[in-house]
Structure formats: structure tokens, C-alpha cells
Amino acid sequence: MKKKIIVLTGAGISAESGLQTFRGSNGLWNGYNIYEVASPQGWQKDPAMVLDFYNMRRREVAKAKPNLAHKVLVELEKKFEVIIITQNIDNLHEQAGSSHIIHLHGEIIKAQSTTNPELIYNIEFEDIEIGQTCELGSQLRPFIVWFGEAVPMIEKAVHKCADADILIVVGTSLQVYPAAGLIHEVPSVSKKYIIDPEAVHASPFKNIEYIKATATEGLPMLVNQLLHD
């Protein structure tokens, strides 16, 4: 029976693929009002602005490629059951080849009906424009969980954490809930690692190993250690 590793990833793992993180020096949120571009209120007020914001981000993702960090997580599957729980909306874990990925905050390559949330369409890297509708005739929106919206995948993520042997947290400031709360959903006896060039405040954490490094420096070292332990 393979041991189970949960990998909780955030924007930092895609930083070295050229995608902006949200907080910190040149974070995306420094240039935008979150509630204008990433909330139901913003969508009601100015849907075209919201669509433009995600069209711009989708074009950035279209240019990005998985980096060494995404790739070494696939290597882990040789010896472990690996479940990636990501806050990222890019598809770099998919492009790298990970087998089990849970997107907590949605996926930039998909669009969603605004009347029936079950209607989800793969649009790859195409823009979404005002006037583009679902099969019921309602405006399409990005398949993204906005601030203030429910996180449908959190129950599944919590369930997957319940019997983890190892938790690896990489590239997240752990400031957004419920995602950040997952660090308390793994067994207290599980081995925990955080990889981040900055010290993140997961202080309530016990028996955690901080690896002060970027994802492409820290993850290959940790994966190598785990594969050869």
C-alpha cells in the first residue's frame, strides 16, 4: 500500500513559470481592486471588466509552461499516492502530468453558465466575451471561485486530507480560507513540509519542516529525499 502525500499548492509554484503571484512585491492584487474583478458584486457591476481581467490572465497562462517543481511532483507518483490540492487556476499541474488534481478556486481554461453552475465548458485559452452564452442562453462566466462564493471542492479536499501520511505546502501565503485551513485537516502525526522563499505564518503548525527556498530549488530536493528514504 503506497503512502499518501497531499500537496497544497498556491501561486508561488507557478511564479517560476512566469505567472504572477497575488501578494508580495509585484503581486496581482497590487494592481487591481479584488472586489471589482474577482467577486459576484464586481460581476454584477461590470461583467465586461471581469471578463477582460480573466481574458488577460488566460492569455498569460497560455504562454506558461510547467516548471521543474510541477514536474518533480509527477515523479513522486512512482512511490506515493499523490493528490495535488491547488488554489491555482492555471493548468500547469495537468500539463506536467499529475494524475490527481483538485482545483479549489476553479480553472481558467473553463467557462460556466450563469444560470446553471453545473454547465461547465472547456474553452482552453479562448477569451470569453459579453454575449457568449451557455446552451440555456445565459452569459458565460469564468469557471472561477470568486471572493464571497462557496468553494465546492473543499469537502472533497478535506476528505482527501484525513488519511494523509505527508503534507507538502508549496507556494502559498496561507492567507485565504478555507484553503489555508487544510493544513489542520491532515493527521497531526503526519509529516509536514512548507516550501517558500519567505517565512509564511503557519505558526499554529506543529512538527512542520520549513524549507526556505523557491519551488524549483526546494521541491526537487524534498522529492529526491522522499523517493530515496
What residues are annotated to the active site?
105
The reply to whether 176 sits near ligand APR by the rule CB under 6 A is: yes
Among residues 16, 75, 81, 90, the one that binds ligand APR under rule CB under 6 A: 16
Separation of alpha carbons 107 and 123, rounded Å = 10
Smallest separation (angstroms) from ligand APR to the CB of 114? 20
Closest to 61 (Cα-Cα) out of 100, 24, 25, 103: 103
Q: From the list 21, 98, 112, 113, which residue makes contact with ligand APR (rule: CB under 6 A)?
A: 21
Rounded to whole angstroms, what are the CA distances from 222 to 27, 167, 170, 193? Answer: 27, 12, 11, 9
For 138, the 3-state DSSP assignment is coil
Number of C-beta neighbours around residue 182 at 10 A: 24
The binder of ligand APR chosen from 198, 221, 224, 227 (CB under 6 A): 198
Q: What is the C-alpha to C-alpha distance for residues 89 and 10, in angstroms, rounded to an integer?
A: 9
Shortest distance, position 149 Cβ to ligand APR, whole Å: 11
In the complex, the smallest distance separating the C-beta of residue 94 from ligand APR, rounded to whole angstroms, is 16
Rounded Cα distance, 108 and 106, in Å = 7
Q: Which of 91, 113, 139, 214 binds ligand APR (CB under 6 A)?
A: 214
**Does 197 participate in binding ligand APR (rule CB under 6 A)?**
yes
- Least distance in angstroms from the C-beta of 47 to ligand APR: 19
Segment 115 to 144, residues that bind ligand APR, using CB under 6 A: none
Residue with smaller CB distance to ligand APR, 134 or 144: 144
Cβ contact 5:82 at 8 Å: yes
The rounded distance, in Å, linking the Cα atoms of 130 and 146 is 18
Indicate the burial class of 124 (C-beta count within 10 angstroms; 0-12, 13-18, 19 or more): exposed
**107 contributes a contact to ligand APR by CB under 6 A:** no
Tell me the three cell numbers of residue 94.
495537468
Which residue reads 490572465 in cell numbers? 57
Q: How far is the CB of 2 from ligand APR (least distance, A)?
A: 26
Answer yes or no whether residue 14 interacts with ligand APR by CB under 6 A.
no
Does 67 engage in binding with ligand APR (CB under 6 A)?
Answer: no
Q: Which residues bind ligand APR (CB under 6 A)?
A: 10-12, 15-16, 21-24, 27, 87, 105, 170-173, 175-176, 196-198, 200, 214-215
